[in-house]
Amino acid sequence: MPAQWQSSRVTSIAASATVASVDRVKQLRAAGEDIIGLATGTPDFDTPAHIKAAGKAAIDEDRTYIIYTQSAGLPELREAIAAKLLRENNVRATPDEILVTIGVKQGLFTAALACLDPGDEVLIPTPTWVTYEACFTLAGAVPVYVPCGKAQNFRPDPEQLAKHITPRTRMIMLNSPGNPAGGVVTPEALSGIAELAIKHDLLVLSDEIYEHMVFDGRRNISIASLPGMAERTLTFNGLSKAYAMTGWRVGYVAGPRHIVRNMQKIHTHSVTCAAAFAQKAAVAALSGPQDDLHSYIKTLTSRRTQLIDGLNSIPGIKCGAPDGGIFCFPDISGLGISDQECSSLFLEKAKVSSLAGSAFGPGGEGHLRMAFARRNPNDIDIAIERLAAVLKKI
């Protein structure tokens, strides 16, 4: 492509490492390779039957759900989201303070464009999900990494954040439970982050997509529920992880009305609305029975232990227990190779996919991201056997 047809925006970011890994696994499987996929953030579980039935019925029974909806989303879905936020998160939001998005990712991009000007700085605790940096960079803002690594159990720390605040700081990006390492912000640290935001007049973007995946007696607390934070927090969530609905592409953001309305301006021009039938299925997910969710969390708890124990049985690998999320983040530095070399070795020789920790920013080096959201427990056992066999040979 001629250079004059290539924007500086696109050259300022890299392609998503997570999406690239998924694409590579699909290519290998299409070629007949037997790959056990532990790299992806897609839960290996089926969307609950009553949710699928609601989506099918929406397509078959009512033309309302195969045409454009209101740009902000179906009124009944925004009402269900408002009820969910109050019931589960102690966050009060009216339907007109909620925007239904095409997954959390699209909501984050829209928020970055609506809230940031070129040169504004955003604090991002690391290691962190690969897409945050791209969201802010494409908006012309400056991502500022704040390392919160293994020594801090991968939990965001208000003292570390405070050291990176400058006159250009406008925003804090918060992800708890975190991706890739699963850190859950403690109540004390969350209060400290709230104090920083209020003191320095900062907006907080809180990505809570893994809110239900918390372990060992911990619980997720929405920062928007703390005193003085509702007016300076955008809470992002979606159906992808908790209800195994990654392909349905339904997310949402809740926050101050004037910010949500500004986001909706961009939303109307960029995507118009989320798919109507998927929104109707989301109503069923949030308002219907939660038995499948509770069973799913119990299964995840068991798979987490299984993967941790398996990884720790391999010489040179050390794996701590993540606070939450669906990933383990084992330290592979004892193997004597880089995380990128290790991830490539595991895929090409053991036929087990993972992601190199260095893709997730400072603090991720020497680690791998490996998912335990698997329906079949045998997958994890076989993966461990393959990894151990490959490493024994080298």
As a whole number of angstroms, the longest Cα–Cα distance in the chain is 60
Angle between helices 103-115 and 257-270 (to 10 degrees): 110
Please provide the DSSP assignment of 91-141 as one string: ----GGGEEEESHHHHHHHHHHHHH--TT-EEEEEES--HHHHHHHHHTT-
Whole-angstrom distance between the N-terminal and C-terminal Cα of the chain? 42
**Which residue in 354, 340, 329 sits closest to 37, CA to CA?**
354
Residue 4's pLDDT is what?
79
Preceding peptide of 177 cis, ω within 30°: yes
Query: For 261-301, what is each residue's pLDDT tens digit?
Result: 999 999 999 999 999 999 999 999 999 999 999 999 999 99
* Dist. CA 311–CA 315, nearest whole Å: 9
Q: With 0-12 CB in 10 A as exposed, 13-18 as middle and 19+ as buried, what is 299?
A: middle
Query: For 218-269, what is each residue's pLDDT tens digit?
Result: 999 999 999 999 999 999 999 999 999 999 999 999 999 999 999 999 999 9
What distances in angstroms separate CA 343 from CA 110, 246, 282, 365, 388, one per listed residue? 32, 24, 35, 12, 14
Q: How much is the pTM?
A: 0.95
Q: pLDDT grade, residue 151 (50/70/90)?
A: confident
* Dist. CA 263–CA 275, nearest whole Å: 18
* Dist. CA 133–CA 114, nearest whole Å: 16
Residue 23's pLDDT is what?
83
Angle between helices 276-287 and 49-61 (to 10 degrees): 140
- Strand 142-147 and strand 121-126: the pairing is parallel
* Dist. CA 308–CA 200, nearest whole Å: 40
Which residue in this structure is represented by tokens 């609506």?
A: 114
* Helices (H), ranges, the chain: 8-11, 17-30, 49-61, 75-84, 103-115, 130-138, 158-163, 187-200, 257-270, 276-287, 291-312, 339-348, 377-393
Residue 3's pLDDT is what?
67
Question: Mind listing the domains of the chain with CATH numbers?
Answer: 3-47+291-393 (3.90.1150.10), 68-287 (3.40.640.10)
Share of the chain above pLDDT 70, in %: 99
Q: Which two tokens stand for residue 287?
A: 């308002």
Q: Residue type for 211, please?
A: E
Tell me the mean pLDDT in the region 25-34: 84
Give the other-Cβ count within 10 Å of 29's Cβ.
13
Residue 183's pLDDT is what?
97
Tell me the mean pLDDT in the region 302-314: 98
Q: Provide the CA 162 distance to its chain's centre, in angstroms.
A: 24
DSSP 319: -
